[in-house]
Amino acid sequence: MSAGKTTNSKGQAWFCSTGLPSDVVVDVDGMIFHLHKFPLMAKSRKLQELITAQEANFTCNVADNRTNSEQNEDEEIQEENETVKIEFSDFPGGSKAFEMAAKFSYAVKIELSSSNVASLRCAGEVLEMTEEYGENNLISKTERFFSQTVLQSLRDSIITLKSCEHLMPLAEHVGFIERCIDSISSKVSVMDPSLLGSPANDTTPRKMANIGAGGNWWLDELNLLNPVLFKRLIMVMKGKTLNQQIIETCLLRYAKKHISGINRITRKPQVSCKPSEIDQKPLLETIVTNLPEQTYSRSSTAVKIFFGMLRSANILNASDDCKSTLENKIGSQFEQATLDDLLMPSYSYLSETLYDVDCVQRILAQFLIGVEDRPEALTIVGKLIDGYLSEIALDANLTPEKFCELAVALPEQARVYDDGLYRSVDVFIKAHQWISEADREKVSGVLDCRKLTLEACTHAAQNERLPLRAVVQVLYFEQLQLRHAIAGTLMTDDVVPSESERSPGKRRELVEHDEMVVEGDEVTWRAAVRENQVLRLGMDSMRTRVHELERECTTMKKAIEKIDRVGPTGWRGSITKKFGCAFKTQVCDSHEPTVVETRKVRIQRTHHRYS
């Protein structure tokens, strides 16, 4: 018996056209298949047993119940009663897999692929379509395709592993899951981590089939695995001593896709179904636990993912070890963070602040542990913390002690200027107008007035919210800056105070001087304001004159360059011949030492004029 050339589906029923009436009806998850006994019994031991058993039961029942009056029943009714009915519930791969297995029994050619080979292998296992029962049977055919095709390709191995999710535990029993995981981990282990996201060096057809045109497509494919299979894959990859950077990349990409809260702002709809809150907590802890001890993904994107995982850990009330690991990961590359990353809401009932300030303090402390050899990173973090202080300063529940604690946590060299810190202090005092004068002085005391620019000093000197002591200190150091500038020792606002001026002894001397000035009451303050105004006028006049000199120098330089183009036989030769001497043209440049010396003389004269 052979299958006909045409098969069709009619609603929830499937018919096979062979020219003969069907004598077997198989119900697979609601789909009714009208088939024939002999093709099925020739390939499937399970169907042969079920059909034989039903026929035996039917024969016994007919023999026991038949009476003389029933012996003349219509033959059509007898044939209908003899139809074998079989039902499969939870068939591996569903009705589609059974349909392909049925076609295979009718010797109809079926197309194997990486997406259906696992379901057909499990179907053959259920139907017992073994080589012992029938030559070149379904199990041997699928095993051969799996070994020779699927396991040779990284992409096919991942696709087949993904298809096994709904075939558990049978896919585990036939060994497909274990073999797919071994194949994936083995192929990934030979990859160069530097090629992630880059074109592969080897462009041969087999290499391109296994690795693909880009180096990171397989990471996106792994993101489609469910947490159970993904965890098993990661454990095997770690057991093979795989490159730790690859493992970290896999974990971060999987977390970004499956952990809620990592992508807080996105315009793309989330088409994937994320695990429930109950499942997300163990998934998050599993990902964090398997992260390599050393951090390899050093980028702003990686830090953003770590911050997202930390937010989720706080929401899901993950373990303290999980949170601590994430904080350490962020702290090791804190300079890659942004202000938006730091603004994490506080989910603790013990804290009244809007943002989780304690968490940022712990991350900063972790960053400062190994920052000695990274001065640039320290400066970046200094600006980041000043911006963060300006944001949290608006929180009415933020205490002066907490503000000061975070402000002074940075070492002195983290801030080239204290302008950003001054802005934070001003915002805090403005938002906390009810605090005492002692708290105002405590908050303003975090400033180093020597590190304020002239613009910041000018604003602070007129800031009525600052305590008088702080204003007098600002005026004093502003006066020093103006005097030094006019004297020519400070030519621009970009000059940083020398290390000697920042020494503890020098700072104590200046503080003692400030205290003496404060004792002079407001008279001293007003006198300092007036003197600073006069000094500013002199400074402005000096700057205007310097700009004029620079313009004159530029004009002279262009004129001399134009004359030089005449050539050696031009005006220079004639002048040499006429006066009997030779000289070298000197171009006036505002950056030449001679001009600087002249400028210093003019500045000193201006200083004498206002002194």
Residue range 368-398, pLDDT digits in tens:
998 887 899 999 999 999 999 999 999 999 9
Report residue 476's pLDDT band, with 50, 70 and 90 as the boundaries.
confident
Of 201 and 487, the structure prediction assigns the larger pLDDT to 487
- For residue 270, pLDDT over 50 is answered with no
Residue range 147-200, pLDDT digits in tens:
999 999 999 999 999 999 999 999 999 999 999 999 999 998 888 776 664 333
Residue 611 pLDDT: 41
**Separation CA 366–CA 363 (nearest Å):** 5
Residue 593 pLDDT: 40
pLDDT averaged over every residue in the chain: 78
Residue range 427-471, pLDDT digits in tens:
999 999 999 999 999 999 999 999 999 889 889 988 999 998 888
- For residue 250, pLDDT over 70 is answered with yes
What is the three-class DSSP state of 257?
helix
26 contacts 33 by C-beta, under 8 angstroms = yes
Residue range 26-36, pLDDT digits in tens:
999 888 888 88
- For residue 495, pLDDT over 70 is answered with no
What secondary structure, in 3-state letters, does 453-503 show?
CHHHHHHHHCCCCCCHHHHHHHHHHHHHHHHHHHCCCCCCCCCCCCCCCCC
Q: Which of 243, 246, 266, 264 is nearest to 254 (CA)?
A: 246
Residue range 255-268, pLDDT digits in tens:
999 998 787 544 44
Q: What angle do CA 238, 242, 247 make, to 5 degrees?
A: 70
**Separation CA 571–CA 576 (nearest Å):** 9
The angle that helices 357-369 and 375-392 make with each other, rounded to 10 degrees, is 170
Name the residue with tokens 């194949």: 183
**Separation CA 341–CA 334 (nearest Å):** 10
- For residue 410, pLDDT over 90 is answered with yes
Of 574 and 563, the structure prediction assigns the larger pLDDT to 563
Residue range 530-548, pLDDT digits in tens:
666 666 666 676 667 666 6
Residue range 560-572, pLDDT digits in tens:
667 666 554 444 4
367 contacts 336 by C-beta, under 8 angstroms = no
**Separation CA 364–CA 389 (nearest Å):** 13
Measure the CA dihedral 599/601/606/607, to 10°. Answer: 120
Residue 342 pLDDT: 96
Residue 609 pLDDT: 41
